[in-house]
């Protein structure tokens, strides 16, 4: 299928943008920098993914979004740990303890996740799929969950599943730890958005934004201006800051609003501390800025688990310069680079600036 013709965008507009924009290869036609953005929505990873495109004709943008929709549909099926696709089959083969050829759609995720897990001191640990299953967080629908017993959690934690338990030699994969079960739910949104942006760039798109529930990657600019992203309060009641994205950047957040109702009347956070098997404590929200959406996605989870005591250390290990953490006492911990980028909508009462290698940081009120 031949894509529609695309228009060219002046070089000055091809910088500093945040959004999911799509462009296609083809015949060159004229368009103006002031052409309206094209906005559309697709569904993947249990969320709406909003795509914004500038600098191309509507037919071109529509064609591009249709290609992304196909990409996301494939990724959604391939990376479902509890479905019938490649990742589910990979987990079945890992349980045998034998060598097998990993599916091409899964192998890059394994190698990327292993690197991120090592950098995070295993606070980001996709090998703990059995913990997710024990809590029932993989289930969908309006039903309550039965929290696992303390004995069950202790057994799962003491089996020490790690990404480092998986050996990769070319296409061949195996693990000697039968407790390893892969769950990439803390990575696939970012990784999928990275793949979408790569596809857009290959199609000739220079200005775009992809937004998955407030987690975004942007390339280029919005009509020559930076893309402005809102950072919401942990309770979802509003916005407390904004940040402008420059060139090609991602913003990902993790918060304590990600919960399921328990049949015992409590609600349970979906972000599990792999060291304890229980939902992470001490943190309300984390936001990370990075050029890679996959890195930002994994780092947001890792810093959330690290909490106010270790977040700056883990950020440094993962190469994260721009990050913030709101602890359970509503104290804002922030790196100097992030402080320089944020614009606060309202005054913040307690801010502690942490250089990546410094702890506990300098307080200001």
18 — pLDDT class (breaks 50, 70, 90): very low
Q: How far is CA 229 from CA 72, 264, 288, in A?
A: 23, 38, 12
Please tell me the predicted confidence (pLDDT) of residue 36: 73
Q: Is 169 left (phi over 0), alpha (psi -120 to 50) or beta?
A: beta
User: What residues are paired with 232 via a beta bridge?
Assistant: 239
Q: 1-79+184-225: which CATH topology?
A: T-fold (3.10.520)
Which token pair is 235? 């309770």
Q: Is 21 left (phi over 0), alpha (psi -120 to 50) or beta?
A: beta
For the question of whether the overall pTM of this predicted structure is more than 0.95, the answer is: no
d(Cα 312, Cα 319) in Å, to the nearest integer?
11
d(Cα 225, Cα 247) in Å, to the nearest integer?
10
32 — pLDDT class (breaks 50, 70, 90): very low
Please tell me the predicted confidence (pLDDT) of residue 161: 97
d(Cα 297, Cα 216) in Å, to the nearest integer?
10
CATH 1.10.3980.10 fits 86-175, yes or no: yes
Tell me whether the CATH fold assigned to 1-79+184-225 matches the one assigned to 228-359: yes
User: Is residue 2 over pLDDT 80?
Assistant: no
End-to-end CA distance of the chain: 59
Q: Which residue has the tokens 């064609």?
A: 63
Residue-wise pLDDT for 168-209, tens only, equals 999 999 999 999 999 999 999 999 999 999 999 999 889 999
| Average pLDDT for 75-81 | 95
Residue-wise pLDDT for 229-246, tens only, equals 999 888 777 888 999 998
d(Cα 286, Cα 283) in Å, to the nearest integer?
8
Strands, E, within the chain: which ranges?
Answer: 6-7, 28-29, 38-44, 47-53, 100-101, 166-169, 172-175, 208-212, 215-220, 227-232, 239-245, 247-255, 259-261, 267-269, 283-290, 322-327, 332-334, 342-344, 351-353, 362-364
Q: Where are the domains of the chain?
A: 1-79+184-225, 86-175, 228-359
Please tell me the predicted confidence (pLDDT) of residue 143: 78
Please tell me the predicted confidence (pLDDT) of residue 357: 56
> Helical H runs in 159-273?
188-202
Residue-wise pLDDT for 38-66, tens only, equals 999 999 988 899 999 998 889 889 999 99
CATH 3.10.520.10 fits 228-359, yes or no: yes
Please tell me the predicted confidence (pLDDT) of residue 257: 83
15 — pLDDT class (breaks 50, 70, 90): very low
User: Over pLDDT 70: what percentage of the chain?
Assistant: 87
Choice among 51-65, 134-148, 253-267 with the minimum mean pLDDT? 134-148
Average pLDDT of the chain to the nearest whole number: 86
d(Cα 48, Cα 155) in Å, to the nearest integer?
36
Please tell me the predicted confidence (pLDDT) of residue 284: 95
Query: β-strands 351-353, 332-334: how paired?
Result: parallel
| Average pLDDT for 328-348 | 92
Kindly report the number of other CB atoms within 10 A of residue 28's CB atom: 10
User: Over pLDDT 90: what percentage of the chain?
Assistant: 70
Please tell me the predicted confidence (pLDDT) of residue 76: 93
Q: How far is CA 91 from CA 32, 124, 178, 200, 270, in A?
A: 50, 18, 10, 31, 21
| Average pLDDT for 260-267 | 87
Closest CA to 186 of 131, 126, 237: 126
d(Cα 142, Cα 230) in Å, to the nearest integer?
29
| Average pLDDT for 300-316 | 97
């Amino acid at each position: 299928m031949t894509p529609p013709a695309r228009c060219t965008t002046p070089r000055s507009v091809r910088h500093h943008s945040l959004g999911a924009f799509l462009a296609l290869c083809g015949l060159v036609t004229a368009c103006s920098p002031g052409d309206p953005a094209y906005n559309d929505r697709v569904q993947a990873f249990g969320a709406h993914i909003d795509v914004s495109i500038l600098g191309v004709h509507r037919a071109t943008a529509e064609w591009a979004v249709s290609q992304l929709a196909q990409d996301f549909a494939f990724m959604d099926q391939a990376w479902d740990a509890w479905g019938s696709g490649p990742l589910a089959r990979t987990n079945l083969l890992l349980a045998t303890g034998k060598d097998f050829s990993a599916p091409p759609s899964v192998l890059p995720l394994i190698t990327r996740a292993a690197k991120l897990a090592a950098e995070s001191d295993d606070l980001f640990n996709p090998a703990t799929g059995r913990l997710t299953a024990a809590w029932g967080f993989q289930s969908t629908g309006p039903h309550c969950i039965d929290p696992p017993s303390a004995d069950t959690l202790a057994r799962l934690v003491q089996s020490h599943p790690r990404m480092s338990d998986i050996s990769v030699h070319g296409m061949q994969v195996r693990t000697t730890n039968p407790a390893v079960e892969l769950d990439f739910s803390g990575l696939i949104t970012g990784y999928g958005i990275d793949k979408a942006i790569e596809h857009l760039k290959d199609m000739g798109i220079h200005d775009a934004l992809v937004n998955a529930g407030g987690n975004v990657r942007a390339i280029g600019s919005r009509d020559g201006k930076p893309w402005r992203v809102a950072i919401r309060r942990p309770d979802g009641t509003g916005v407390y800051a904004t940040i402008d994205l420059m060139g090609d950047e991602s913003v990902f957040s993790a918060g304590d609003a990600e919960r399921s109702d328990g049949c015992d009347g409590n609600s349970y956070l979906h972000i599990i501390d792999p060291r304890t098997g229980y939902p992470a404590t001490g943190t309300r929200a984390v936001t990370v800025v990075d050029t890679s959406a996959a890195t930002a996605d994994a780092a947001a989870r890792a810093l959330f688990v690290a909490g106010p005591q270790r977040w700056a250390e883990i950020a440094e290990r993962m190469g994260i310069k721009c990050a913030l953490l709101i602890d359970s006492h509503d104290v804002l911990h922030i790196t100097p680079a992030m402080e320089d980028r944020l614009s606060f909508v309202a005054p913040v009462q307690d801010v502690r600036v942490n250089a990546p290698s410094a702890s506990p940081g300098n307080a200001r009120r």
